[in-house]
Amino acid sequence: MSEPTQTIEGWYAFHDFRTIDWKAWRALDPLKRQEILNEWTSLSNEFANEDSARKGSYGRYTIASQKADLLFVHFRNTLQEIIACKLRFAKTQLNDFLKPSYSYVSIVELSSYLAKPGTNPQEDPHLLPRLHPSLPKQGAVCFYPMNKRRTGNDNWYMLPMKERTDMMRSHGMIGRNYAGLVTQIITGSVGFDDWEWGVTLYAEDPLQFKKLIYEMRFDEVSARYGDFGDFYVGQVASDTDIFTMLTL
């Protein structure tokens, strides 16, 4: 048996993708639409206040493709709190007009080698911002799930620990070339969802997503051992942006 990689976990994460039922929404009386939007804005303000108090992190986004129209992202300390966030939204009237198109449950994950020997990584001031990330309030977002391949001779999980570590170090060096241009949050989802990891990227210029991911395609970790799900790209949105989007 190959030695498993040890990890450090942070906040739980929930990516909630929604598609707007425009036909049903347009059929509503304008005053009713206003009432529904006011109710949703009140809840969104609550989530934003919890973000400001560092009880979690909250983001909302408009999505470019037809896979979804909106994305809501919640980071919380426990799975129970993630479920509570989902239910709080489900109880709003707006939920009836935003149909689920995809969702992803995971937890922030860092490699254990980042921890200093003999210290508690949960108290390390250098690791805490990565374990409990504050989501950017502007710019573009890109999300995709991924697996490490487990087929034939390309079985990541049968490789020796040192070989995996060396390859991941080389892989990580590519990401460092984009420091200051792209912010990356890796969340683990083994046992939580259908893929093994979720990758959420942020950048002022969305073109940097293409450049980074394309360059990584040539690294062995991706070229030989990476399998990827659907990509979602969009822009950070404010409550006002979404309110305006839904105001006819």
pLDDT band at residue 231 under the 50/70/90 scheme: very high
CA nearest 108: which of 57, 158, 50? 57
> Choosing from 144, 178, 225, 232, which is the catalytic residue?
144
Specify the higher pLDDT residue, 248 or 133: 133
Is the distance from CB of 197 to CB of 106 less than 8 angstroms? yes
144-160: average pLDDT: 94
pLDDT band at residue 2 under the 50/70/90 scheme: confident
Dmax (CA) for the chain in angstroms is 63
In angstroms, rounded to a whole number, what is the distance separating the alpha carbons of residues 60 and 143? 13
pLDDT digits (tens, 9 = 90+) for 165-183: 889 888 888 989 999 999 9
The yes-or-no answer on residue 12 being catalytic is: no
Helix (H, G, I), strand (E, B) or coil at 200: strand
Q: What domains does the chain contain, in order, with CATH numbers? A: 7-245 (3.30.70.1030)
Is the distance from CB of 39 to CB of 33 less than 8 angstroms? no
pLDDT digits (tens, 9 = 90+) for 57-112: 999 999 999 999 999 999 999 999 999 999 999 999 999 999 999 999 999 999 87
